[in-house]
Amino acid sequence: MSAAADIPATEDTVTDLDQAIQECASVADFEAAAEQIPDALDGVDAHTFLSNRCASEPAIDSAICDEVFTPAAS
């Protein structure tokens, strides 16, 4: 997350956070990291970012993407 925050805005790409997506164990972990380093998401909601990124890049093999798309138990 901190590596993505250090990238200048002129060089930002959506793939900058792929490593964080793969390394975080859960959506909650990703959200906590995003709260600690808010510049990494440039103001975008963490869950919204994850939903969009996981939907657009099915090659990302991560527990987070599985969690994002698993319906919550009612």
13-31 pLDDT, tens per residue? 567 788 888 888 889 999 9
Q: Cα separations (Å) of 16 from 5, 53, 55?
A: 9, 11, 16
Question: Crossing angle for the helix pair 46-56 and 27-36, nearest 10 degrees?
Answer: 120
pLDDT, tens digit (0-9, with 9 covering 90-100), for 32-50: 988 988 888 888 899 898 8
Judge whether 11 and 51 are in contact, CB under 8 Å: no
Judge whether 66 and 55 are in contact, CB under 8 Å: no
pTM listed for this prediction: 0.74
User: Is 1 or 32 the better-scoring residue by pLDDT?
Assistant: 32
